[in-house]
Amino acid sequence: MKIKEPEFRFGKNWDELATLFNYKINEHDQDWTYIIAEPTRIDEYISAYGTTVINEDTKFSLLEMIIQSLTDQATEELIQEKWKEIKPLLIKDFELHKYTIFYWCCWDNEDINDCWRVTPLFREFWLNKK
């Protein structure tokens, strides 16, 4: 299936997240939001997204952390449980996160078993949203 890729976007405002969650940013970190994310802190990330963070660039980066934490959950049951909390954020801010959602759909790979654990959720979401 050929899906049109949305315009590329990347996070720019990591300092607010580093302060909020007491993380450090190394000068050579380019995938910081994916590297730093801790699956055990996913509830903190989700809570901050909905209450503390209002800047769009920060929200964009925080959602990357949330999704990385989602895919790193210990069980499929936890993934499904947390997905129920994350999906409304994606619906609400779809335009802001369109590129990130597309990225996690992994459309360039037809073998769903060779994608991230959360890819089926993101593909279903994308197809239903579009």
User: Which amino acid makes up residue 34?
Assistant: Y
C-alpha–C-alpha distance, residues 84 and 48, integer Å: 16
Q: Which residues have CB under 8 Å from 64's CB, separation 6+?
A: 11, 33, 34, 37, 100
Percent of the chain clearing pLDDT 90 (strictly above): 72
9 pLDDT above the threshold of 80:
no
C-alpha dist (Å) from residue 51 to 21, 77, 123:
14, 26, 27
Range with the largest mean pLDDT of 47-51, 54-58, 118-122: 118-122
- Name the average pLDDT for the chain: 91
Identify the band that residue 98 occupies on the pLDDT scale cut at 50, 70 and 90.
Answer: very high
32 pLDDT above the threshold of 90:
no
